Amino acid sequence: MDKLIIEGGVPLTGVVHVSGSKNAALPILMGSILLDEPVTYTNVPDLRDIRTTFKLLELLGCPNAFENGQVTVTPGALSPEAPYELVKTMRASVLVLGPLLARLGEARVAMPGGCAIGARPVDLHLSALEKMGARFDLEDGYILGRCRKLNGAHIHFDFPTVGGTENLLMAAALADGETILENAAREPEVVDLARFLIACGARIEGHGTSVIRIQGVPRLGGCTYRIMPDRIEAGTLLAAAGITDGELLLTDCPFEELDAVIAKMRQMGMEIEPTADGVLARRSCALRGVDVTTQPFPGFPTDMQAQIMSLMCLSEGSGVISETIFENRFMHVQELVRMGADIRLSGHTAIIRGVQRLAGAPVMASDLRASASLVLAGLAAKGTTTVQRIYHLDRGYEHIENKLNAVGARIRREAE
C-alpha cells in the first residue's frame, strides 16, 4: 500500500493534460459484451478500476490488449459469472448485468463493492430489468439473473440513476422492440455510452435528455471509439490552480460539461476561460466562500463536492455545502479539520469558515474523491502532508502525482 508525501505551499503553473474519463470508460468497456466483432477504444485512462475491468472482461470471455491508452477487445464465447474477487473492489461491475442478460439470457454477478460513500442500492437496476422480462434471485452474495429474451418496456426511474440508465441502455440495445427510459440520467458519461452504442449500430434517441428511446436491434458490431475526457479530473485540476494561487492551462478539457463547477469557481473568485490551446484557470482575487448543493447533472456534481470543500477551506467568509446524493460523503471533513480547517457538520450539510492557512498533517483517505480533496489541501498547506491509503486515488486519477509535479508540485510516492 502506497502513500503520498506532499510538501505544500508552491503555486502550480504550466500545462496539464486531462485524461480519458473513468466514469465513461467503465460502462463503455462493459458494452463490449454486447458486440459480436472486435472493438478498439482510444483515450482510455490507465487506472486501477480500468485494469480490474480488463480482468473482468477476460473472465467473461472478452480477451483484450491494452497499451498506451488504447485497448482492443475481442468478444468470444461468453461466461455469465462476474466473481466476487473482482467485483468487490469496483461498484461499476454491476454494469455487466444488462449486457450479459441481453447476450446470454443469464448472469451471475457478485453484489458490488467500491467506495463506502453510501448505500447506492442496485434495486433500481433490477426492477427495471424485471420489466423487460428478467427474473432475479439473491444467492450467497450473488445476483442471479435469467430471461428467455429481453423485451422492450416503458420504464420510469424513481431517481435519475446513472448506473441504472447505463445498464438499461445496454440491455435495451439488443432487446425485442422499443424501450423508453423516463427520468433517465443526463450525465455526459451516459451520453458518451449512447454515442458508442450508436457507433456500433444501436438505435437510440434522446440521450442527454430525461427521456431516452431505444429501438432494439438484432446485433451490434465493432468500431473504433474515443473515450471522452474526464470532467471530474478536469474539475480537480481547476481547483488545484485555485487553491495554490497558480495558473494552469488544461488541454483536452471538457469545458461545456463543467458548467456548474466553473460557475461556482468563478463565483469564488477564479478566472476560468477557454482559449485556442485549452482552458486557462487562475485566481483573480482572494477566494470567497459560496453555497453549493450537489445535484444530478446538469447540477453541481457530487464527485466534485470534496474538492470544492478544500478550496472553500482557504476562502474568505463562510460557505455551506449540502450533499443530496450520497449520505456518507463527508468522511474527508475530519481529515481536513486535522489540517486546520474550520468545518462543522449538521446532517447532510457542512458549514465551512475559511482560515488563513492549512498546516500539513498525516491524513487518511476514505474514498476516491476524498483522496483528491486531501491532495489539494496538501498542495496549499504549510509543511508536509502525508496522504495514506491512496489506492482509492489510483482508482480514479491517472498518475496524478506525475501530472502535478510537472507543473511545480512537490509530491513523492512511498510504500507504507
Mind listing the pLDDT tens digit for each residue in 349-394? Answer: 999 999 999 999 999 998 888 899 999 999 999 999 999 999 889 9
Same domain as 184, residue 307: no
Domain boundary among 226, 244, 268: 226
Same domain as 166, residue 238: no
Same domain as 294, residue 208: no
Angstrom distance (rounded) from CA 30 to CA 304: 25
Specify binding-site residues for phosphoenolpyruvate.
22-23
Same domain as 140, residue 242: no
What does the pLDDT read at residue 409?
Answer: 98
More confident residue, 170 or 112: 170
DSSP string of 171-236? HHHTSBSEEEEES----HHHHHHHHHHHHTT-EEE-BTBSEEEEE--S-----EEEPPB-HHHHHH
- pLDDT higher than 80, residue 326: no
Angstrom distance (rounded) from CA 359 to CA 352: 16
What does the pLDDT read at residue 113?
Answer: 53
Domains in the chain, number? 2
Angstrom distance (rounded) from CA 101 to CA 408: 49
Average pLDDT, the chain: 94
Cβ(107)–Cβ(100) below 8 Å: yes
| Band (327; pLDDT cuts 50, 70, 90) | low
- Taken in order 377, 379, 380, 382, the sign of the CA dihedral is positive
- Taken in order 244, 250, 253, 259, the sign of the CA dihedral is positive
What does the pLDDT read at residue 118?
Answer: 40
| Band (317; pLDDT cuts 50, 70, 90) | very high
Same domain as 184, residue 285: no
Number of other residues whose CB lies within 10 A of the CB of residue 410? 16
The alpha carbon of 345 is separated from its chain's Cα centroid by a whole number of angstroms, namely 25
Range of the structural domain that residue 398 is part of: 2-16+230-415
Model confidence pLDDT, tens digit, residues 57-106: 999 999 999 999 999 999 999 999 998 888 877 778 889 999 999 999 99
Same domain as 274, residue 184: no
Nearest to 73 by CA among 82, 81, 64: 64
- Taken in order 402, 404, 410, 413, the sign of the CA dihedral is negative
Nearest to 356 by CA among 379, 386, 382, 321: 382
Helix/strand/coil (H/E/C) assignment for every residue in 73-117: ECCCCCCCEECHHHHCCCHHHHHHHHHHHHHHCEEEEECCCCCCC
Cβ(382)–Cβ(359) below 8 Å: yes
Active-site residues: which are they? 115
% of residues, the chain, pLDDT over 70: 97
Q: Which helix (H) or strand (E) holds 362?
A: strand 362-364
Specify binding-site residues.
22-23, 91, 120-124, 303, 325
Cell of 235: 474539475
**Stated length of the chain:** 416
Domain boundary among 226, 260, 285: 226
Prediction pTM value: 0.94
User: Residue 157 is which amino acid?
Assistant: F
Longest dimension (CA), the chain: 63
Same domain as 337, residue 283: yes
Same domain as 273, residue 252: yes
Angstrom distance (rounded) from CA 349 to CA 344: 8
Same domain as 236, residue 182: no
* CB proximity list for 16: less than 8 A, separation 6 or greater: 237, 248, 249, 250, 251, 403, 404, 406, 407
Same domain as 210, residue 83: yes
* CB proximity list for 85: less than 8 A, separation 6 or greater: none
3-state secondary structure of 38: coil
Model confidence pLDDT, tens digit, residues 127-147: 999 999 999 998 888 899 999
Question: Average pLDDT, stretch 158-165?
Answer: 93
Cell of 80: 455469465
CATH code at position 256: 3.65.10.10
Same domain as 193, residue 240: no
Same domain as 31, residue 59: yes
Angle between helix 259-268 and helix 305-313 axes, rounded to 10 deg: 10
281-286 contact pairs (CB < 8 A, 24+):
281/237, 281/238, 281/241, 281/242, 281/247, 281/248, 281/249, 281/250, 282/241, 282/242, 282/246, 282/247, 282/248, 283/241, 283/242, 283/245, 286/315, 286/316
- pLDDT higher than 50, residue 115: no
Domain boundary among 199, 226, 253: 226
What does the pLDDT read at residue 116?
Answer: 41
Cell of 298: 446538469
